[in-house]
Amino acid sequence: MFQNNPLLTQLKKNLHAKTPRVEGIVKSTERGFGFLEIDAQKSYFIPPKNMKKVMHGDKIVALLKTENDREIVEPEKLLEPFLNRFVGKIEKKDNRLFIMPDYPFLKDLIICQPNKNCFNIFQNGDWAVARLTKHKLKGDYIFYAELTEKITKKDDPLIPWWVTLARHNLDIKEPVAEETDLILKENYDRKDLTDLDFITIDNINTKDIDDAIFVNEKTNGDISLTVAIADPTAYIQYGSKLDILASKRAFTNYLPGFNIPMLPRKLSEDICSLNPNKRRPVLACNITILKNGNTSDKIDFFLAWIKSKSKLSYDHVSDWIEKSGSWKPPTKAIEKQILVLYRLCLLRMKWRKINAVLFKDSIEYRFHLSESGNIIDVLVEKRRIAHKIIEESMILANISAANFLSKNLGFGIYNVHAGFDSVNAENAVSFLRSYNLKFSAKEITTLKGFCNLRRVLNILSNNYIDSRIRRFQSFGDFSTIPGPHFALGFSEYATWTSPIRKYSDMINHRLLKSIIKKEPSIKPTEEIKLKISEQRRRNRMSERDISDWLYAILLQQKKYKNKKFDAEIIDISRNGIRARLIENGANVFIPGLFIHPIREELNFNQETGKVFINNVIHYKISDLIQVTLSDIRLETRSIIAKPELSKLK
């Protein structure tokens, strides 16, 4: 009687239309149910039966209903799937292929088959790139994926590298060089500086040497610094095939254990590299550093030939300056170069401490790998005096390039940092006031005021305050027009000292040359600037992901099972603490359950970076604590730790 009643059908449609809808991101849990996250404060429960229609990370529209006096959502429409192109591990069952996506919250196998363009044979445990082609919320009966390419076999020791690079869609090999790419194409007149005692200082195993320096101390105490930079644009014509490839890569991708170059290795590590006793074309600048550490207004950019007299290492030069170790400069002339460079470095550091922003000494962690790619250990490396010598020289060169470009063109690829926006400036000032540090928002949004704030914080040396203030700061970026770099403390800054490794520096090389030769200049587009920014982000993510994977492999070793590690708290999340192991740099997560058994008495305050138990502060960002490792989940590259009862600091 009611089966085909048009009135009943219309009534159902009306009720369905009036049902409220919400839009959000699906968040799954290990227990089968999930939540639809509307924003940072609001989420709705998704029952297990409804979770079967969606995946973690899907952006959906859902019907908001009430069931057993509880608000729940029923997925209705897929706006954006979490999975599109993805990587995963193959499982073979009864001659059928399945793929497990390589994401922490995706636990279900997806049936799959190679697409018509993929001719690889897949075995159990292999890694592959896939594309999701069917989704249940689109009306399909199953989730289904097509395999588009094989990444590697299950027993390859380089799985962390190949899988991560495939995930971020990054190149795994150097670009191919053709014979014409290796021929010098510019016939400009160049100054012959091959008799001067240029030296290079790099890591002992560096092959792509970008920069060489020469200093001359004048009778009045001033120092003349000549910075010579490798000149790949003398070989690579604008718009050529290799130039387009370099623009897409944007950077040499430095990963644990090896790098994937922006340019063919024949260029980056041989023909263009400033190797010792090899005549090389360079773009150079001459800067005069006054006795007070400031620079003269007269800066000269020019093209030249040089011949580096020696390839020195950071550690050898630092040892000699610090009067340790057995290494000595190979000649008296090179000894003089090191001594004058040391004096220049001290002058500039003193000047920057007063007039700009001086960097804190930092620690870097480097993976020690076997030839086959197996992790052996992690080495701790500190910024030593030789690093600072080169750093100060390159900073001088980059400030000079920015000024030169601005004065002559008004455009280029500039490195910019905006400091604080107006809202975060107010938040920062309010936070500082609670520590009796009196600044105004107007003051710290000026370059001079920002530099003054950084100097005060450096003197104060309070890591908690420093970390909170950095949270309010903007991120660094690129710009095609001049702008200040607050974090460095300069009114403008443009890098050109690494053209073998950075396409932005190649762009600036071409612009600097156009000024020198009085030729037309091509202004870089916003599109190329955005491409460079995006590629930098992807490269950094790939480095981080590979590092997390290697740490998980390393810390599974038996010797770390019951070991106590000193760690620094680096972040407070909604569910726990993130800390960095000081011994090796690994990031670990401490869940709330390990901090206090009663969740209702526990408060993780992300805004202040503090953890409260019964309204009493127990931990904060920058605290030093001791932890032991509880669980290492290789499939998600996560390291779970337990805190000891007492803090170190």
Q: According to the model, what pLDDT value does residue 12 have? A: 54
Specify the DSSP element, H or E, that contains 25.
strand 21-28
pLDDT for 358? 86
Token reading at 418: 């905006």
In angstroms, the CA 577 to CA 511 distance is: 47
Kindly name the residue from 126, 181, 197, 208 that is annotated as catalytic. Answer: 208
The counts of H helices and E strands in the chain are 15, 31
Q: Is position 176 within any domain? A: no
Predicted local confidence at residue 255, as pLDDT: 95
The string of DSSP letters for 360-381 reads: PP-EEEEEEE-TTS-EEEEEEE
- And the tokens for 68? 């057993």
Domain annotation covers residue 452: yes
Residue 208 annotated among the catalytic residues of the structure: yes
d(CA 444, CA 128): 50
Q: What is the per-residue pLDDT for 2?
A: 52
Claim to verify: residue 221 and residue 96 sit in the same structural domain: no
Cβ neighbour number for residue 390 with a 10 Å cutoff: 19
Catalytic residue among 126, 211, 505, 545: 211
Asked if residue 543 is part of any domain, the answer here is no
Any domain includes 141: yes
- Give the active site residue among 103, 235, 314, 551: 314
DSSP 131-179: EEEE-GGGT-SS-EEEEEEEEE-TT-TTHHHHHHHHHTT---SPPPPPG
Is 544 noted as a catalytic residue in this protein?
Answer: no
Rg (CA), the chain: 29
Cβ pair 100, 88 in contact under 8 A: yes
107 with 244, same domain?
no
The predicted pLDDT at position 8 comes to: 55
Residues 355 and 253 in one domain: yes
Is 39 part of the annotated catalytic residue set?
A: no
Rounded distance between C-alpha atoms, residue 385 and residue 198, angstroms? 19
Structure tokens, 604:
């993780």
Considering the domain architecture, whether residues 25 and 112 belong to the same structural domain is answered as: no
How far apart are alpha carbons 591 and 642 in whole angstroms?
A: 8
**In the sheet where 279-289 sits, what is the strand order?**
191-192, 300-307, 279-289, 223-230, 211-217, 199-202, 310-313
Q: What's the pLDDT score for residue 575?
A: 87
Query: What is d(CA 193, CA 216) in angstroms, rounded to the nearest whole number?
Result: 13
Q: How far is CA 1 from the centre of its chain?
A: 67
* Rama region for 327: left / alpha / beta (φ>0; ψ in -120 to 50; rest): beta
Total count of residues recorded for the chain: 649
Quick one: 433 exposed, middle or buried, by C-beta within 10 A (0-12, 13-18, 19+)? exposed
In a domain, 8, yes or no: no
Q: Residues 501, 538, 580, 637: which is the catalytic one?
A: 501
Residue that terminates a domain, selected from 80, 100, 127? 80
Decide if 482 is inside a domain. Answer: no
Among the options 58, 210, 243, 319, which is catalytic?
210
> What is the DSSP-derived secondary structure letter of residue 559?
G
* One domain, residues 388 and 268: yes
* 202 and 323 together in one domain: yes
Which residues of the chain have a pLDDT value below 70?
A: 1-17, 645-649
Helix (H) or strand (E) holding 624: strand 624-633
The burial class, CB within 10 Å (0-12 / 13-18 / 19+), for 363 is exposed
Catalytic position from the list 58, 102, 181, 202: 202
Asked if residue 313 is part of any domain, the answer here is: yes
Residue 545 in domain:
no
202 carries an active-site annotation: yes
Domain of 60, CATH number, reads: 2.40.50.140
> Does 311 lie in the same domain as 387?
yes
pLDDT of the residue at 14? 55
Number of domains into which the chain is organized: 5
Both 274 and 220 in one domain: the answer is: yes
User: At which of 155, 170, 200 does a domain end?
Assistant: 155
- Please give the residue range of the domain that contains residue 430: 418-474
Mark whether 386 and 452 lie in a shared domain: no
CA distance 382 to 629: 26
Distance, in Å, from the CA atom of 193 to the CA atom of 305, rounded to the nearest integer, reads 6
8 Å CB contact between 88 and 143: no
210 noted as active-site residue: yes
Phi, psi at residue 148, to the nearest 5°? -105, -25
What is the pLDDT, as a whole number, of residue 446?
A: 96
DSSP-derived pairing of the beta strands 223-230 and 564-572 = unpaired
3-state class of 27 per DSSP?
strand
The verdict on 89 and 76 lying in the same domain is no
Residue 338 Rama label (left phi>0; alpha psi -120 to 50; beta): alpha
Q: What one-character DSSP code corresponds to residue 476?
A: P
CA distance 286 to 227: 7
Q: Are 231 and 509 in contact (CB under 8 A)?
A: yes
Same-domain pairing of 299 and 387: yes
Same domain, 354 and 340: yes
